[in-house]
Amino acid sequence: MNRIGIATVVAGLLGSLLLLFLAAPIVQLVGSSGADGLQRLGSDLALRDALLLTAATATAATLLGVLGGTPIAYLLARREFPGRAVISALLDLPLLIPHPVAGMALLLLLGRDSAVGSAALDLGLRIVGTPLGIVAAMLFVSAPLFVSGAREAFARVDARYEGVARTLGDPPWRAFRRVTLPLAGRGLVASAVVMWARAVSEFGAVVILTYNPKTVSVLSYDRFTGFGLSEALPVAAALVLLALVPLVLLRALRAGEPRT
């Protein structure tokens, strides 16, 4: 066998081992407890509530991320301005720090003793220990994924399309709505799906900000520490199945992505 042949075999073997390592635990988890998890949705009220809470808070966090992240992503993709590199680094920071640390930082910012927390309390809004805390934790850890993906989606659309739309009579906002947004649309939706999936699976920051009411990830941890692996597995499997929904959506979106 020549050198290239050996290299191909070794690379293939290493790749297969990694793939097996990544897939095996998930496949085993869903295979052994997936059906049980789905069955329990009918009887396990805590699991059903946790799933609904997780989906709702992740959706709220994603909406907030999309609303705030889209303009930032567009600016980063299209404009050169002072401080651009600093903003990019700040946006990457939540991805680099351990999530419990992110939770502690949020607790400092939003806790009842903080300026923001007490101002919110004055307005009748309690953040820590409520679904608002879950949304805040999810937003913090997952919004950078949306901004990063959306920035790439905008960057893939040649700015000259917008330029042509302007020469055809569109003011900037209309050119964005009629040309840039549809061309970057799939990339934006895909980034929102990734953000949502990341928000759904968040544990470290959420558990520090809001232990109760419980998201699915917190419930699965709670069952594991309180009742052992056998009680935690169906909950964990239900969480994996919930995360699979956006994953399948994402693949479908990417398959039909237009070339610009």
Partner 1 sequence: MITLESARASKGRFTLDGISLHLASGQYGVVIGPAGSGKTTLLELIAGLVPLRGGRLLLEGVEAQHRPVEARQVGLVYQHAYLFPHLSVRENIAYAGAAADLQQELIARFALSPLLGRAVESLSGGERQLVALVRTLARRPRMLLLDEPFSALDPGRRTRVRREVRALHREWGLSTLQVTHDFTEAGLLGDVAMLLDAGRLLQSGPPTELFRRPANAFVAEFLGAENVFAGTAKALGDGTFEFVTGGLTLHAVGEFANGPAHAVLRAEEITLARDQGHDSARNRFSGRIVDIEPHGAVARVTVDVRGVAIVAALTARSAQDLALAPGLAVVLSFKAMAVHLC
Footprint of partner 1 (CB under 8 A): 158, 160-161, 163-171, 179, 182-183, 258-260
Query: b or e along 187-211 (b: 16 or more beta carbons within 10 Å of the residue's beta carbon)?
Result: bbbbbbbbbbbbbbbbbbbbbbbbe
Angle between helices 229-255 and 3-43 (to 10 degrees): 120
CB nearer partner 1, residue 185 or residue 213:
185
* 113-119-124-127 Cα dihedral, nearest 10 degrees: -50
Based on CB atoms, which residue is closest to partner 1, 25 or 182? Answer: 182
Structure tokens at 63: 């909406």
State the Cα–Cα distance between residues 52 and 43, nearest whole angstrom: 14
Q: Tally Cβ neighbours within 10 Å of residue 114.
A: 16
* Separation of alpha carbons 144 and 62, rounded Å: 11
Number of helices (H) and strands (E) in the chain: give both, helices first: 12, 0
The minimum distance between CB 150 and partner 1, in angstroms, equals 18
Beta carbon of residue 185, minimum distance to partner 1 (angstroms, whole number):
8
Instruction: Name the minimum Å distance from CB 184 to partner 1.
Output: 11
Q: How far is the CB of 256 from partner 1 (least distance, A)?
A: 12
Q: Do residues 88 and 75 touch, judged by C-beta distance below 8 A?
A: no
- Closest distance to partner 1 from the beta carbon of 158 (Å): 7
CB nearer to partner 1: give 226 or 258: 258
CB nearer to partner 1: give 71 or 171. Answer: 171
Q: Choose between 165 and 193: whose C-beta lies nearer to partner 1.
A: 165
Q: Smallest distance from the beta carbon of 258 to partner 1, in angstroms?
A: 5
The residue among 161 and 211 lying less far from partner 1, judged by its C-beta, is 161
Query: Do 220 and 235 touch, CB atoms closer than 8 A?
Result: yes
